[in-house]
Structure formats: C-alpha cells, structure tokens
Amino acid sequence: MEQRRDLDEDYGISRRNKAKGVVENEQQVDRIKDLPDSILIHILSLLPTRDAVRTLIIPSFGGLWASIYNLDFDWCLFHDCSNNLLYTREGCGLLRFAEYVRHTLAFHRGPKICKFCLRFEFSIYHLLDELMSLEPEEQGVMIGAGGARFTYAGEVTRWIEFAVSRNAKILDLDFLACGSLSSTKYELPGFVLQSSFLTELKLVSCDVNSSAKIVMRALKVLYLKEIALNDVPIMNFIDGSPELESLTVLDCHGLRELNCGSHKLRSVMIAPPGCDEPEVKVACPNIKSLAISGWVELLELENLSSLQDASVDCYDCFASEHLDYFAVQKILEELHQVKVLTMHDRAILFLTVWESTNLPCPSNSWQHLILRTMLTKWHLPGIAKLLRSSPSLEMLDIHIIPGEVPSIVAQEDWLPLYNIREGNYWDSQDGSFGCLTDSLRIVRISGDITKDRAIQIVQFLLRKALVLQKLVICTGPNDCSMAAEELKEFSDKLLSFPRGSPQAVVLFSDE
C-alpha cells in the first residue's frame, strides 16, 4: 500500500484528486523540456524550417530553432502550386519569400549546417511585376529590406554563401520550383563548385560559368536538371569530383556524351532534353545501375558491361513507330544482360506496338522484371511481349498505377491504329511463355489491385506458371485500400483460382 501511495505521489496524483479523476496541472512534468538541447535541436532539424521557427512560442523549445542544422526554404509550401495567381497579395510572392529567408538566416546561430535547401522560381520579370503591384510605401520597405541597392541575384548568392561558409554537406538549389523556364537564369557562384565539404549537390535551372573551376573532393551525389552543358562539359563535373558515386542529368541541353570509366561511379540517371537535340552517347563500363527516361530514342548506349539493373521510361510521342522501334531495340539489346529491369508505363506501350505488328523483342537474360503500369487494355500486349521474351525470368513485380487511358497524345495519335480486344486478354494467349514453364518462381502484385485486369492476370499466372512458389498480393496503405469484408471476399476469390504449380501459395501482405 505504501509503495502504491509513493507511486501516485511521484506522478502528482493525490488521493483526493485521484478520486475526482483530476490531475493537478501544476505538478505535471514537462518531459520535452527535460531533454538535452542537442536532442531538441535534432528534433527541430527534422521539421520543415517554417515549422521549426514557429516553435519559438513553445516554452519547451524556446529559441533552439536558431541552432537547427537543416535549413529548408521551399517557396511551394507557402502557396497553392496549381493557382496561376502566385504573385498576388493572397499568396506568398517572391518578395515575401525573400523576406522570410532573410529574417530566418539573420537569427540563425548554428555553427554548422548539414543540409541547405532553397527552392523557388528565380524570375526577375515576376519579381518586378510583383514589386510594381505594391503601394509606394510597401515598395520602399521591400527594397530597403534587401539593402541600399536591391540586387536580386546578389541576395540569393549571400544566402548560398551563408550555407557554404558553414560547411554544408548537402546543397539543394532549385531555381524553377513550380514555375516556368525563364531565359534569365541565376548564375551559380564559383565558390559552390569548390567546396571541400559538399557530399551532395542538386542544381536545377541555373547557369554555370564556363570558366568555373570544379573541385569537390567529397562529393558523392550530383543532380543536374535544366542546366546548359554547352560550355561546361559534364566531364568537368566528373573529373572534379573523384568520389562521385551517383550522377543524375535531366533535360540538360548541350549534353553530347557521357563517357566515364571511374570505378567510384555506381549509378547514372539520364534524360535527353528534347527531340531536336543530337544523340547522346553513354559509355560507363563500371556503373551498376542505369535509369533512362524522356526521349530515350536519342540515347546511344554502349560499353555497359558491369550493369546489373536498369530502368526505362519515355515520352509517349510516336512520330514513326518503325524508327522508334529500331532505336528502342538497340537500347534493349544493350540492356539484355542486366539482372533487374524496370519498365515504366509508357515504355511498355512500345512493346504493345511490337506485339501488334509482330516485331521481335531482343533476347535477354533478365531475372527480375518490374512493371509500373496502368494495366489498361493497351498495356496487356506489351506485358505479354516482355514475358515471352524473358526465358530466364525468376521474379515479376507488377505495380498498378491509377488510370484508364495511357495519355491524350497516345489515345488520339496512334492507339486507334491497333485493335486491342476487349474482355479477358489472357484467355487468347497460347502457352509460348518459356519463363512460365521453367523459371518464374515469385510474383508480386501491388497498387490498384482490385482492377478486373489485375485479377485476370493473377488468374493467368497462377494457372500457367508451372514452377511458381509464391504470389504476393500487397494490400498495404500505399495500395488499394479495402474494408475487412471486401478484403475477405477478394482474397477468397483469388484463393479459389486453379494453380499450375503444386507448391504455389498465395500470400497477402500489408507492408
């Protein structure tokens, strides 16, 4: 009894108040306040900077936000990106955003920064339009806040210098955000490309001076998007970053060749910028992972002898199916030896054209095939083509994304040229699937799994895969949600399907 009394008193609960069901607020313990400052700063650093600053009014945190080591300034958090009226008083315009960044950095006291993210549309024209829309008094305040001489690019440079001078390890600079491309771009200061502390650098829609010296000896991850590489060859970045492991180059005009023999570079993601650009040669004999997207027909792949996994996505513009066929055929031939291949929604449509016109798919030794598709009737022939062309396939992942029509362009321009039958497509397929007879052991279906076509392909695979060991249906939070009763009815239906493999089991996973 004495022990129970002491326990009650430790938690601030008197017998009288306990009988009333009341706990005295004065005796409650603020456990957050008792945590070390280092833990609290770590917690605040995981929040968006805007939210971390707001904790100033919480006694437990006080002014600790000023010591956070992650600074994330994202203009898109302050407005609705789908709203065209971004520069009105109702939203957070560029001037207000600049004021917010300026004040936050002025009060920051942390000696070092781990990650610095700056994401907004760098547009002098929009800035001037916004400035002119203000009342004269407000114009004076805004211009004065930026210094005696309001220099837009100069202030942005000071923000970046703030991060680099505090030995930032991750620098994420996106000067496009949700806006549109501008002819006037921000010119990246040279000191960014000479940081000895940066391990990750992301640059979106800015200019790099052709005379800039690139020396980033600690850099492991480089992401470039909408960067003109005419005057600054991509090899300047690679040669100046001897520890580089991951390289992403998306929609960068002027890219002609990516020829890298570095043993450190492991992963490359590349997307040519447009159909009016010349071909891009990619020769990286030591990389393990390659992801290509966009105008893939402009890519010339060669010397990828160490490649283990690849991903293919593309635009849905089929100007000439036969020309596209030969371009994509060459790509798949270069990827024939990878163990894992991911084919995205629009890339699968290439294979639909091939299946419908009896064009062959290059032979391959793929062991694991990942398909991310809408699973419309237009995608089914492409999936069948991939299965027929993959005699060594052991694992098949199908992630079903929402949608019923591939795209407006495809629907109007070329899909009507091919007659895809309605009903259960798999009922008309013969037994010429080598992987189903000899090698396919694991199948995983996720996403919008309640579609009729999803159920039909599950039924087909269970019946035709003769060495199948397990088929996993994912019902997790990122997949199609079902009530308990619906899930039971759905699972009972799948479990009733006949199986060609005596050891095949059907599993349901909520992960």
Query: Could you tell me if 342 and 314 are in contact, meaning their C-beta atoms sit under 8 angstroms apart?
Result: no
Q: Which two tokens stand for residue 57?
A: 């009014």
**CA distance readout (Å), 254 to 45, 175, 187, 250, 276:** 38, 19, 17, 11, 11
**How many domains does the chain fold into?**
2
Which is more confidently placed, 87 or 32? 32
Q: Read off the pLDDT band of 13 (50, 70, 90).
A: very low
Does 3 reside within a domain? yes
The torsion of the CA quartet 420, 423, 425, 426, rounded to 10 degrees, works out to: -170
- Phi and psi dihedrals of 168, rounded to 5? -60, 135
With 0-12 / 13-18 / 19 or more C-beta atoms within 10 angstroms meaning exposed / middle / buried, residue 420 is middle
Q: What is the pTM of this model?
A: 0.84
- Phi and psi dihedrals of 368, rounded to 5? -135, 120
Q: Is the pLDDT of residue 23 over 80?
A: no
The pairing of strands 200-204 and 115-119 is unpaired
Q: How many other C-beta atoms can be found within 10 angstroms of the C-beta atom of residue 70?
A: 20
What number of CA atoms fall less than 13 Å from residue 201's CA on the CB side?
31
Does 423 reside within a domain? yes
Which is more confidently placed, 167 or 177? 167
Which is more confidently placed, 178 or 434? 434
Does 123 reside within a domain? no
Does 427 reside within a domain? yes
Which is more confidently placed, 442 or 416? 442
| 3-class SS string, 385-454 | HHHHCCCCCCEEEEEECCCCCCCHHHHHHCHHHCCCCCCCHHHHCCCCCHHHHHCCCEEEEEECCCCHHH
pLDDT value of residue 5: 40
| Nearest partner of 168 among 243, 115, 109, judged by Cα | 115
Q: Is the pLDDT of residue 389 over 50?
A: yes
In angstroms, the CA 127 to CA 93 distance is 8
Q: Read off the pLDDT band of 473 (50, 70, 90).
A: very high
Average pLDDT estimate for 127-152: 52
Does 420 reside within a domain? yes
pLDDT value of residue 130: 53
In angstroms, the CA 159 to CA 394 distance is 51
pLDDT value of residue 125: 57
In angstroms, the CA 181 to CA 69 distance is 31
In angstroms, the CA 89 to CA 285 distance is 54
pLDDT value of residue 371: 97
Average pLDDT estimate for 175-194: 87
Q: Is the pLDDT of residue 45 over 90?
A: yes
Q: What is the DSSP letter of 279?
A: P
Which is more confidently placed, 210 or 126? 210
pLDDT value of residue 377: 86
| Nearest partner of 307 among 333, 278, 344, judged by Cα | 333
In angstroms, the CA 122 to CA 174 distance is 9
| Nearest partner of 110 among 70, 74, 72, 73, judged by Cα | 70
Q: How many other C-beta atoms can be found within 10 angstroms of the C-beta atom of residue 386?
A: 24
pLDDT value of residue 232: 82
Q: Of 13-22, 57-66, 422-431, 444-453, give the lowest mean pLDDT range.
A: 13-22
pLDDT value of residue 61: 85
Does 400 reside within a domain? yes
Average pLDDT estimate for 463-488: 85
End-to-end CA distance of the chain: 46
pLDDT value of residue 216: 97
Q: Is the pLDDT of residue 27 over 80?
A: no
Q: 3-state DSSP call for residue 47?
A: coil
- Phi and psi dihedrals of 276, rounded to 5? -90, 5
Specify which residues 25 forms β-bridges with: none
Does 366 reside within a domain? yes
Q: Of 137-146, 166-175, 242-251, give the lowest mean pLDDT range.
A: 137-146
- Rounded to 10°, the helix 345-356/321-334 angle is 110
Per-residue pLDDT reduced to its tens digit, 340-361 = 999 998 889 888 888 888 888 8
In angstroms, the CA 94 to CA 75 distance is 8
Residue ranges making up the domain that contains 396: 347-511
Q: Of 361-365, 406-410, 489-493, give the lowest mean pLDDT range.
A: 406-410
pLDDT value of residue 317: 60
Does 371 reside within a domain? yes
Q: List, in order, residues 6 or more apart from 344 with CB less than 8 Å away.
A: 293, 311, 312, 313, 314, 372, 373
With 0-12 / 13-18 / 19 or more C-beta atoms within 10 angstroms meaning exposed / middle / buried, residue 322 is exposed
Q: Of 38-42, 241-245, 255-259, 480-484, give the lowest mean pLDDT range.
A: 480-484
For the four alpha carbons of 432, 435, 437 and 440, in that order, the dihedral sign comes to negative
